[in-house]
Structure 1
Amino acid sequence: MNVVGYVRLSRDEDKENYSSIVAQKEIIIEYAKKLNWEICRMYVDDNYSGYTFDRPAFNRMKEDIENGKVDVIIAKDISRIGRHNAKTLLFIEYVQTNGKRLVLPEEGSGYDTESDDDDILGIKTWYNERYVKDISKKIKANMHIKQRKGELVMGNLYGYIKDPNNKSKLYIDENIRPIIQLIFKLYIDGLGYKKISDILNEKSYPTPSAYIKQKHAESGRVFKNLVSDLWQTHNIQRIVQNDLYIGTLWTHKKQNKKIGGKQEKVKKEEQYCFENHHEAIISKEDFELAQQINNKRRSLIDYSGKSFSNVKATYKGNAKYDYIFSSFVFCGDCGFAATGKNLGRKPKVIRGYECTQYAKYGLQRCVSHNVWEDKLLFFFKEFLKEIKNQYEEYLKTFNFEQSRKNVTESLNRLQKELKVTNEELKILLNQKIKDIIKETNAEFREIIEDSYSQLENDKKARINELTIKIEELKRVGNKDIEKKIQTAIDKFDSIIESERPDRKVIEMILDRILIYHDKTIEFKLLVDISELTYDNTSMI
């Protein structure tokens, strides 16, 4: 008979009176001895909330139940299984359905699914859930009080450094000040998000996530979010539109409506705004000018889209003809949409595309230029052939050996980091025990315990993250890469070989087509072919 123990601890829930991991294990082992049972393994979730049932050890235990490796589960009491009423009761039903047994030695006078009635247990699980929800409400209330005062509860602010002695104070990070100022100068000078990001990448300026990760590492912390080493358009957009850089601070921008749920944006009117909160990096005049430029550019895009959709509907209704590139063609001179229309005179029919601004306003808005659809399709196919020829050799001779080597190197790197992080956790726990033993004052011992809890959380989170990545990497094979390559070839061939390409295939690869008055045609794909065949293992 396979008898296992389950142990869970969450200091946030249980605070002063929690039963330690060691104490829970002792209770389980002692109970098993009385029945001459031998514990074959212990599942331990240290510092995991009972409200969520997505816990590493708990999930492994369920897998073992389904694989026939568990017959009896012993836990100290029902709160160790969980504090979510419905989910806890569902787990008990799950155990019974699978023909297993759950024993809770310290649940009342003891509870055993094999012999005891679970009616009272439902009341207890309801109480446990109310308990954790009450704590959650208190934490949220405390956070809101701090946010209303302008204190920085969480988050990283690119360009500013938090004062460690004053949670409501920010001062400028002089390493980042020139980057922020350059971004606003280039934008006001007329450059777009893409061009600005290219310039920053050429200068090797650190992206917000890369810089924050670096600062975390310097202070011995783990940055858990995804890191991008290259500037992208959305990075520039967020900075240009962020009034943080004129000294304004917004707090309470996101909140969790449910325990363990995803963060949701808070309505602007419900956020807390503090103007002149800190020293500005950008003048208010430059910031306002940047917003005016941004609004003008956005209105042009919006208007182009609206005018196109309206005209498109009219022409489609009159001509009863579905243009191959409808919604893709834009005027390269004025930026507005180019709509499908009959460019010939009756009875001659020449399907094509013409700038909507010229068609509506004449030379006041743009110049006369259009393109036949047959020619546009011919040039598009030729363009795809050229792109395909450029990369065909690369696609067909993809270095699978190098791919395997990349996977191996990434795997070795992650495993090495996992080993180091485990060692760091051991050292941290040993130091914690030493500090607690040395301290005789009970209140100070609690402060030490709280101080170490976040450090332990960070290390354990990183260990869990690394473990997941390692398992994912072990499953990575060349089949996925090969499939992407073949898909790319198929998409190109489907359009090149078709008399009238499938609209869905076009939408999968084409972003837009720009037509110019000098007869130049520019095709923009949604993604570069090299990105389609990029080995994502290097991103792990």
Structure 2
Amino acid sequence: MKVVGYVRLSRDEDRENYSSIISQKNIIEEYAKLRKWEINIIYVDDNCSGYTFDRPEFGKMLEGINNKNIDIIIAKDLSRIGRNNGKVLVFVDKLKELGIRLILVEEANGGLDLLKDNYDILGIKTWYNEMYVKDISRKIRSSMHMKQKKGQLIMGNFYGYKKVKVNEGFKLVVDEEIKPVVQMIFKSYIKGLGYKKICNLLDEKGYPTPSEYIKKMKEEGGKVFKNNVAHNWQTHMINRIIKNDIYIGTLRTKKRQVRMIKGKEEKVPLEDQYVFQNHHEAIISKEDFFLAKEINERRNKIKFSGKAKYDYIFRGLIECGECGYAIVGCNLKNYPKIERGYNCRSYRKYGNKLCCNHSISEDKLIFIFKEFLKDVREDYKEYINKIKLVKVENDENKCLARMRKRLYLEKEELKLILSKKIRDINKEISNEYKNIIEECYKKIENEKKEKILKLIRDIDEFNEENKNKFNNNLKSALQIFDNIIKEKNLKREEVERIIDRIIVYKDRSLEFKLKVSIDEILEKYDIKDEL
């Protein structure tokens, strides 16, 4: 006779750890000892939810059942087998069909052998076990949701930030060792380096990858990092850092959610996330973050492929006005002297079948670009001051709109609370109970009023900060124009800040698109320069 035991423990279900692994084993072994049974093996699933049957040791036990290597299974109670009503009942029926005894030592006030004993309320018991785990899951999700709504740090590790315990919660503190790495990633990306080149640069300098960094943080806190560790930088890591506004002091909570127990995790739309501006110290300026965001969106939008050995100034910024493909950097001449320039990618790959030759040298493009900036700068100084601000302002306006929406909703909720309080008080005859109702509602009202006042302060601070930032940017916009015009060697970073794209047509005429729409300026100047 082959006897096995089964033990399961879930940290979420057994909040007080009332039924530890050791105590469950002792119960099983004591039961077998009294009957002089020898236990072949005790299967142990530690920290596994009973709602799913996809558990490592439970799976091994199922293999033993299917191979007819098990005659008796001993467990502490039915909830250890599982808390999913339907799956538990199917499992019990399967054991009965195979003639396998499932003995639950502490079930039904004295033990239960499901093969021999008649247990009429089995379905009710399994239903209750399922309701229990669902209730626990609901309470945990509700608790997490409230913490997310308040902007509390629940979980997660952020590259470049340390989570420091403060009273009952945590706060994010900049890790000074990693701060230069994050700043270098943004600076390199704005200068025109691609993800792969940045990865190679980081590897050469020996900077730790995000998983290496998190593993180190875990170990310093006495915890084990269970995930795989990447020892080389990869492009998706750069992509995540570039897009993460945690580095400008913004905290986002409720970014992912699970609707069902052990269900698939899904992303939450940006408009449904909770956003907290100025939550912690920033590593990157907002201007650089939104500039990197613009560059990223443009690079993803343009139909560009291929690798360039030479860092072309306008790489990724030029497109063909005929076929829509990227105008890529290439060597126009090799002898007697190399001449760098640009030509349509479609033409270079397929010839006259899809497009035509309309190459332009980099030196000539730089000259025409500077002349264009000189003309525009001379007559449109005030207009130029707004360049490079529009995208930032648009993103800031979205944040401001979300904050105002939250303020509106909080005010509406307060109105509903006050209306409900009035109704509840009017329904009650006893003055004593009226006072109790008043006291209960008072706490809720005060919490809601504090949230409203905080949102009002946040909106005022937000507006003041953007006002100061706008004034600072006004001082530097013209300077960027001047730098590009005067400098012999253009800086990719400054070009990125003012140019949206350059369109080259088959007659080799050029159209410059700045960060904001300048259709009126283009019409007045008719900027389509013949090469």
* TM-score normalised by L of structure 2: 0.57
Deviations 1:129-155 (A, max 9, x none): 110010011111111111111111011
The alignment partner of 1:136 has SS state of helix
Could you tell which deviates more after superposition, 194-203 or 103-112?
Answer: 103-112
1:338 to 342, 346, 361: 346
Shift of 1:337: 5.5
> Structure 1's 365 and 128: CA in aligned 2 closer, same or farther, altered over 3 A?
farther
* Aligned positions of 1:262-301 closer than 5 A: 262-301=264-303
Residue 447 of structure 2 is matched in structure 1 by none
TM normalised by structure 1 equals 0.56
Computing the radius of gyration over CA atoms, which structure comes out larger, 1 or 2? Answer: 2
Letter in 1 for 2:144: M
Asked if 1:257 is matched to 2:254, the reply is no
Change (3 A) 1:26 1:241: closer
Shift in Å at residue 177 of structure 1?
0.8
The answer to whether the 8 Å contact 2:323/2:354 transfers is no
1:20 & 1:241 partners in 2: Cα distance? 44
1:336/1:356 contact within 8 Å kept: no
SS at match of 1:164: strand
State the one-letter code of the partner of 2:140. Answer: I
| Counterpart residue number, 1:108 | 108
**Partners in 2 of 1:67 and 1:180 — Cα distance?**
55
After superposition, residues 6-85 of structure 1 pair within 5 angstroms as 6-16=6-16, 18-33=18-33, 35-85=35-85
* Alignment correspondent of 1:363: 358
Q: Is the 8 A contact 2:346 2:355 kept in 1?
A: no
Matches within 5 A, 1:18-417: 18-33=18-33, 35-109=35-109, 110-117=111-118, 119-165=120-166, 167-301=169-303, 333=330, 338=346, 353-354=350-351, 358-359=355-356, 363=358
Question: Matches of 1:355 and 1:182 in 2, distance apart?
Answer: 42
Distance 1:2 1:284, change over 3 A: same
Q: Does structure 2 conserve the Cα–Cα contact (< 8 Å) formed by 1:147 and 1:251?
A: yes
Q: For residue 453 of structure 1, what is the aligned residue in structure 2?
A: none
Identity level (%): 56
Contact 1:330 1:355 (C-alpha < 8 Å) held by counterparts:
no
Cα distance between partner residues in 1 of 2:360 and 2:145: 52
Q: Does the CA-based 8 Å contact 1:337-1:355 persist in structure 2?
A: no
CA distance in 1, matches of 2:304, 2:173: 38
- 8 A contact 2:52–2:82 mirrored in 1: yes
- C-alpha distance in structure 1 between counterparts of 2:294 and 2:25, whole Å: 64
Task: Note the residue ranges of structure 1 that are not aligned, 5 or more in a row.
Answer: 313-326, 341-351, 368-540
State the AA in 2 paired with 1:54: D
| Contact kept? 1:5, 1:75, Cα under 8 Å | yes
Structure 1 contact 338–353 (Cα < 8 Å) conserved: yes
Q: Residues 363, 33 of structure 1: CA spacing in aligned structure 2 closer, same or farther, 3 A cutoff?
A: closer
Structure 2 spans left out of the alignment, 5+ residues:
306-315, 331-341, 363-531
Report the alpha carbon displacement of residue 336 of structure 1 after superposing the two structures with TM: 6.2
Cα-Cα RMSD: 3.3
CA shift digits 1:304-333 (9 cap, x unpaired): 9xx99x989xxxxxxxxxxxxxx9x99665
Compute the displacement of 1:218 (Å).
Answer: 2.6
1:485-512 superposed Cα distances (whole Å, 9 cap, x missing partner) = xxxxxxxxxxxxxxxxxxxxxxxxxxxx
Higher helix share: 1
SS, match of residue 73 in structure 1: strand
Q: What one-letter code is carried by the residue in structure 2 that aligns with 1:122?
A: G
Q: Is the 8 A contact 2:347 2:354 kept in 1?
A: no
Contact 2:75–2:103 under 8 Å retained in 1 = yes
Aligned partner of 1:249: which letter?
A: L
Alpha-carbon shift at residue 223 of structure 1 (Å): 1.3
> What SS does the corresponding residue of 2:230 show, helix, strand or coil?
coil
Secondary structure of 1:281's match?
coil
- Answer yes or no: is the 8 Å Cα contact 1:76–1:107 preserved in 2: yes
